[in-house]
A and B are shown apart, each in its own frame.
Chain A
Amino acid sequence: MNSQKPTRDGADGMDSRRTIEIVRAGLRRRQAAEKRFRLYGLLAILLGLVFLSVLFVSIVGNGYSAFAQTYVRLPVYFDAAVIDPEGTRDPETLGSADYAGLVKASLREMFPAVTERGERRALYGIISNGAGFELRDRVLGDPALIGTRQDVWLVADDEIDMLVKGRVDRTLPELDRRVKDDQIGWVDRLDAEGRVEKRFNTNFFLAGDSRDPELAGIRGALVGSLYTLLLTLALSFPIGVAAAVYLEEFAPRNRITDLIEVNINNLAAVPSIVFGLLGLAVFINFFGIPRSSPLVGALVLTLLVLPTIIIASRAALKSVPPSIREAALGVGASPMQTVIYHVLPLAMPGMLTGTIIGMAHALGETAPLLMIGMVAFIVSIPAGVFDPATVLPVQIFLWADSPERAFVEKTSAAIAVLLAFLILMNAVAVILRKRFERRW
């Protein structure tokens, strides 16, 4: 120390002016560099926000109209001669009658001038294919309707729906449009008579998949996602926490545990399709679990999210200070009691956060499900974990691949629903962390 001081003093005395000048000369450059550095960070965030808002704007812009659906009010005569010619009111007869014919008869009555075969086909095309089934359900629910004339709101065909929503360019030559001039004329007339209305699309949330866009809904996919995620949670959380507790609290530190640790970290980075192949080979081909069922989906997704949960849980356990364990052990608690009553409750918020993020990951996953048959057209709503089911992202994928134009808005609407769930789950994770996390 002493030997250095004179030299520094000497330097100070001789070069004091020069040092301050050097600092001053470089100061502006250093401050500019500082500003640039902050600007880069800000720009990075802004760029991210721009992409995000473009994504949101395009999804909402394409998808918001899917939450409305066009209905047409038609006077339908529930002709007893068609529905129940023998007057038996037998549900079997009522169920198999030609209800689509009633809708067609009603349209013919509204537009008596339309007589030519091709024109009539175009006229019938205004109302959805599902309208007949809707009338059937009404009659089965209330057989007193037979023989009466009712004004019924029926779902419009998807192309008419697009027209009413302004997604058909009327200025194009007729040949290049799916909706023909005649149809536009009829719809405009119906509209002028107050027979066309846009309503909230309850069907979108209550129906299963359909190849008719106006009848398609996400309920089947939502229920499938729910079953799959609940099972995944039930399987992966206990296994993940148990593995993390053992590795962190009890396992000796040696080669084998190191190897296990490396493997777990590695598994977290394995492409998800690999888990699908594994699921196909083990769960379906060896154990014979039914293809396309939420059970097999959950088993595969469990494999997928386990590494995430184990890593997050171990980090949470590590952050509990050793003094807690020592204090518990010191007053005579067994190692198990220490873990269960003291360490686990303190680590739980971190573990739950990791689990929710893992679940959000599982909710958005499609690739592994491709191999186990969950990428499929399934109309019925799954009633259990053995029924064939699909999940939300798969539904989005299938709709994005459909030729019908009206599926574009359905796809975006389904994406919006999926995003809403993801935001909800991640928000819960953040709240859990903010509310219960303790810092030492």
Chain B
Amino acid sequence: MVRKSVVMAAITTTLLAGAASVQAAARDYISIVGSSTVYPFSTVVAEQYGKSTRFKTPKIESTGTGGGFKLFCAGVGVENPDVTNASRAIKKSEYDACQKNGVKDIIEIKIGYDGIAVANSRKAPQLQLTLRDLYLALAKEVPDPKGGDRVVPNPYKTWKDVDPTLPATKIEVLGPPPTSGTRDAFAELALEGGCSTFGWIKDLKKQDEDRFKRICMTVREDGAYVEAGENDNLIVQKLESNPNAVGVFGYSFLDQNRDYVQGSIVEGVAAEYEAIAEGKYPISRPLFFYVKKAHIGVIPGIEEFLKEFTSEKASGPEGYLSDRGLISMPDAERARFRDAAVKLTPLSM
């Protein structure tokens, strides 16, 4: 019995000692986590950076924006990531969590914009939608069609019910699940934008914000909106085989698959590069990444990575990221963030 416990203790000590020595080892590559929307851009920059500098290519995990902040804000030290990608700005609660765990100085870099396309198969006619149409077609509860300041469960079955100018096909929209940043952005920009066109709901925002959000952002669950997973390629394939369906996904997937799918015209604007860059296309959002200042100088090459990402040849209007479908920022904004990347200006909230 005594001998057994001695053996056990020895094994445990060895394991712990081994673990401690591993933990103390330095990391010589940048570790990046975060949004799956930023992932295709971040990886391209990382690869260029790895090939053209003496530093190792960064490791990039696609964990989703929220998951990325959770890992990023867990603390300072080589076992935590240095950079997190985000398809929305950091929230106050996430910033506070970072502060609490000792992640004090965070540098925010905006890299450009991403449009969210509403698209259908080329075999079907192109749709001309308004944000109001999208809201009425997709919300769980909509204002009573008979009038009055009350909501009823969504009665619309076909696009024609929503707007007489639209075709009489069944509403069937394939889109991302609630865990996705794309879904958050879509709900905020398209659904909230559409429901704010009703005067009384807009007034509600100031009086009862919870109710406003519930009415505007809750997506219907009766089968008209199908959660198609995080894989945008899958949505494109499903649209191709089902001409009646409409898909919601990132602009870069529309750009790559124009021979199969066509973007709908939203509020009179087509999902084209120029329209998104000029801010005319209504469903577009900024993309960011955040850097832990405490890791600069500890992990080699972070400053150079920031320079590569904000350089004109990467995120400029003719840079290699625009070939991948990232919409670049206007000149002044680009200059501002390039400056922030050089001076390492921390974010204050």
Contact = CB atoms under 8 A, between A and B. Distances in A.
B79 interface: yes
Contacts of A212: 47
B79 A291 contact: yes
B169 interface: no
Interface string A163-183: 000000100100111100000
Contacts of B232: 401, 403
A289 interface: yes
A286 B79 CA distance: 12
B286 interface: no
Contacts of A380: 29, 50, 56-57
Contact of B47 (A211, A284, A291, A398): A211
A404 B43 CA distance: 13
Interface in B4-34: 15-16, 18-20, 22-23, 25, 27, 29, 31
Nearest to A172: B259
Interface string B252-282: 1101111100000000000000000000000
Contacts of B19: 286-289
A121 B15 CA distance: 56
Q: Which of A133, A172, A291 has the most CB of B within 10 A?
A: A291
B60 interface: yes
A377 interface: yes
Interface string A193-214: 0000000000000000011100
Given A287-B15, A379-B57, A401 B258 contact: no
Given A178-B256, A400-B231, A211 B59 contact: no
B83 to A, nearest CB: 13
A403 B253 contact: yes
Interface in A238-296: 284, 286-292
A75 B39 CA distance: 36
A378 interface: yes
A376 interface: yes
Contact of A375 (B42, B62, B79): B62
A402 interface: yes
A108 interface: no
Contacts of B259: 169, 172, 176-178
A289 B44 contact: no
B23 A403 contact: no
A364 interface: no
A288 B40 contact: no
Contacts of A104: none
A363 to B, nearest CB: 21
Given A133-B51, A288-B23, A386-B25, A373 B61 contact: yes
A133 B43 CA distance: 18
A386 B256 contact: no
B258 A176 contact: yes
What's the dominant secondary structure at chain A's contact region? Answer: loop
Contacts, number: 98
B60 A377 contact: yes
Contacts of B197: none
A379 B50 contact: yes
B179 interface: no
Contacts of A404: 256
B320 interface: yes
B306 to A, nearest CB: 18
B241 interface: no
Contacts of A338: none
Q: How extensive is the interface on chain A, given as a class?
A: 35 or more
A343 to B, nearest CB: 25
A377 B59 contact: yes
A6 to B, nearest CB: 72
Given A288-B22, A403-B256, A121 B318 contact: yes
B242 interface: no
A319 interface: no
Given A177-B259, A288-B23, A403 B325 contact: yes
B233 interface: yes
Interface in A341-388: 373, 375-380, 386, 388
A398 B43 CA distance: 12
A284 B61 CA distance: 16
A405 interface: yes
Nearest to A389: B59
Given A172-B259, A378-B59, A211 B44 contact: yes
A28 to B, nearest CB: 47
A152 B128 CA distance: 50
B133 interface: no
A212 B258 CA distance: 19
A373 B62 CA distance: 9
A106 interface: no
A376 B22 contact: no
Interface in A69-123: 96, 121
A401 B231 contact: yes
B245 to A, nearest CB: 19
A379 B50 CA distance: 9
Contacts of A290: 22, 25, 27, 79
B29 A388 contact: yes
A289 B21 CA distance: 9
B60 A376 contact: yes
B177 to A, nearest CB: 14
B62 A289 contact: no
A210 B253 CA distance: 18
A426 interface: no
Contact of B39 (A169, A175, A286, A377): A377
B260 to A, nearest CB: 9
A438 to B, nearest CB: 37
Given A211-B40, A292-B61, A403-B252, 8 more contacts: A176-B122, A211-B44, A289-B22, A291-B79, A379-B46, A388-B29, A403-B233, A403-B255
Closest 3 CB pairs of A and B: A288-B23, A287-B19, A379-B57
Interface of A: 96, 121, 129, 133, 169, 172, 175-178, 210-212, 284, 286-292, 373, 375-380, 386, 388, 398, 400-405
13 contacts: A172-B259, A176-B122, A211-B47, A288-B79, A377-B42, A377-B62, A380-B29, A380-B50, A386-B22, A401-B232, A402-B233, A403-B233, A405-B257
